[in-house]
Amino acid sequence: MSSPTPIMQFGTSRFLQAHADLFISEARESGQDVGPICVVQSSGDASRAGRVAALASPFPVRVEGIENGARVEETATVSSITRGLSTAADWDAVQRVFVKEAQIVMSNTGDAGYAPQPEDVGHTFNQAMSFPAKLHLLLRARFDGGALPIQIMPMELISGNGVVLKARVMELAQNGPPAFHDYLATGVTWVNSLVDRIVSQPIEPAGAVAEPYALWAIEDQPGLRVPCSHPAVQVVPSLAQIEALKLFVLNLGHTVLADRWRGCAGADTVMVRDMMADTAERDNLVTIYTDEVRPGFAAAGQGDAFDDYAATTLERFANPFLDHAVADIAQNHAMKIERRIAAFLSFAKDNGDLAAKPRLEQTCARKDGA
């Protein structure tokens, strides 16, 4: 019989391989009593069956890029995963591990995994169910099996992801017994987190190539259990500042580059690093950051945090190894202008920064014709 796996992970993406799986592996190597992980494929995608099996054996993660001005090229071996299962083929085993072994549950199933499905209202497992519906069935089984406490840590890029997932599961449980509702509210710790790392390509059958920068920001709350101690793992009182930096510096910068690329009818092969190697394009972005974005963060009392994050962001954009096509960033351009640039202009005004921001305002003015 396999050794217990106190961490369950729903999702097999290369992002998780180069993020949480790597951090927990490095923590175990340093002597921390954490993990191991049971990884669960929740999509039922038959084409990924080989990946599920391969993840249960050590696999490589190549870290390549620029960090603090120095070139980084190193390979780590990830050995934190000891069991691979699929909800489609191994539901009984998934339920057994969830009920008997799991203490922390991580997920990264994407927006598609959260989308409600007609099958979600069923009382028995159906692979067509959304991830929250599958989680609801597993939590009900754990409740029926003794109601041991458990921590749920969604890592999907959804603001307030723990709150959102809790609300969806509570909605699905609304016709259940009151004691189960109480268990979901008090016996389950729902954690908000924000993750950040650019993972540029997979290594087959398991593994990935990633940039040096990595962040797993976890919002503090009573009873929180941190999966491991690692330089990339930060427990913070609130995710609001980190979310603002990511959206209004990194994401805003990407959209500024995409807008410039669209304006000159750039080729689909242009990468972010190519635009950063162009002095005029880099200077334009730096000017926007310095003259238009920084004052908004300074007005919010986050000037120093902005300076550090902006410097790191420019290094990330210039990563010589990263194949990040500007054409990909330019998809859904009008929506991204609204969420990243127009929203920043509102953020700045709300914090008392009323100065004109001509470059960003001109970009917003082009939105309707984007």
CATH code for the domain of 136: 3.40.50.720
Sheet-wide strand order for 150-154: 81-86, 37-41, 7-10, 104-107, 150-154, 188-190
Q: Kindly state whether residues 226 and 361 are assigned to the same domain.
A: no
Residue scoring higher pLDDT (152 or 68):
152
What type of residue sits at position 133? A
Of 198, 215, 236, which one is at a domain's C-terminal end? Answer: 236
Question: CA–CA separation, 233 vs 281, rounded Å?
Answer: 33
pLDDT for position 77: 98
Q: Establish if 1 belongs to a structural domain.
A: no
Contact 328, 270 (CB under 8 A): no
Domain that holds residue 340: 240-369
* Rounded average pLDDT over 325-333: 91
Q: Kindly state whether residues 66 and 182 are assigned to the same domain.
A: yes
Confidence of residue 71 (pLDDT cuts 50, 70, 90): very high
Contact 61, 25 (CB under 8 A): no
Radius of gyration of the chain (CA): 22
Q: Establish if 30 belongs to a structural domain.
A: yes
At 94, phi and psi to the nearest 5? Answer: -60, -45
User: For the chain, how many residues are written?
Assistant: 370
114-135: string of b/e by CB count within 10 Å (b at 16+)? beeeeebeeeebbeebbbbbbb
pLDDT tens digits for 154-199? 999 888 999 999 999 999 999 899 999 999 999 999 999 999 999 9
Question: CA–CA separation, 338 vs 353, rounded Å?
Answer: 19
Show the tokens assigned to 131: 């991830």
Measured at the CA of 126, the angle between CA 51 and CA 85, to 5 degrees, comes to 25
Across the chain, what does the average pLDDT equal? 94
Of 178, 202, 236, which one is at a domain's C-terminal end? Answer: 236
Confidence of residue 369 (pLDDT cuts 50, 70, 90): low
* Domain tally, the chain: 2
Q: Strand pairing partners for 196?
A: 215
Confidence of residue 146 (pLDDT cuts 50, 70, 90): very high
Is the confidence at residue 259, as pLDDT, over 60?
A: yes
Confidence of residue 3 (pLDDT cuts 50, 70, 90): confident
Q: Kindly state whether residues 231 and 280 are assigned to the same domain.
A: no
**SS3 state of residue 364:** helix
pLDDT for position 278: 96
Q: Establish if 198 belongs to a structural domain.
A: yes
Q: Kindly state whether residues 351 and 318 are assigned to the same domain.
A: yes
Q: pTM here?
A: 0.88
Of 215, 236, 257, which one is at a domain's C-terminal end? Answer: 236
- Least confident stretch, 95-104, 197-206, 242-251: 197-206
Q: Which helix (H) or strand (E) holds 240?
A: helix 240-245
* Rounded average pLDDT over 189-216: 94
pLDDT for position 349: 97
Residue scoring higher pLDDT (347 or 68):
347
Q: Kindly state whether residues 287 and 323 are assigned to the same domain.
A: yes
pLDDT tens digits for 262-284? 988 878 899 999 999 999 999 99
Confidence of residue 143 (pLDDT cuts 50, 70, 90): very high
Q: Kindly state whether residues 116 and 26 are assigned to the same domain.
A: yes
pLDDT for position 367: 72
Q: Kindly state whether residues 336 and 225 are assigned to the same domain.
A: no
Q: Establish if 114 belongs to a structural domain.
A: yes
Contact 55, 39 (CB under 8 A): yes
Confidence of residue 201 (pLDDT cuts 50, 70, 90): confident
Q: Per the omega criterion (within 30 degrees of 0), is the bond before 205 cis? A: yes
